[in-house]
């Protein structure tokens, strides 16, 4: 049962976040060969000022060996 957590800056509507979550879930289900009903997607808003401490330092750097798509920026 895949679970994906997306962190992004605030400013997207609930509709945009729902469409993103549905699209990501469909791609995951098709690519990994599972049922879309088994995929969960969380979208968390993080203020730009907090990005380094909340996302870069806590999520990206510790998971570097697992990142199949690495960011094209550094903090």
Active site residues: 2
Radius of gyration of the chain (CA): 14
Instruction: Return the residue matching tokens 């879930």.
Output: 25
Of all helices (H) and strands (E), which one includes residue 28? helix 14-32
Count other Cβ atoms within 10 Å, centred on residue 24: 16
């Amino acid at each position: 049962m895949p679970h994906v957590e997306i962190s992004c800056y605030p400013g997207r509507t609930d509709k945009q976040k729902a469409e993103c979550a549905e699209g990501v879930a469909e791609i995951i289900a098709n690519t990994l060969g599972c049922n879309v009903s088994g995929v969960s997607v969380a979208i968390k808003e993080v203020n730009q000022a907090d990005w380094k401490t909340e996302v870069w330092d806590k999520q990206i750097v510790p998971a570097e060996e697992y990142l199949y798509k690495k960011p094209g920026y550094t903090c």
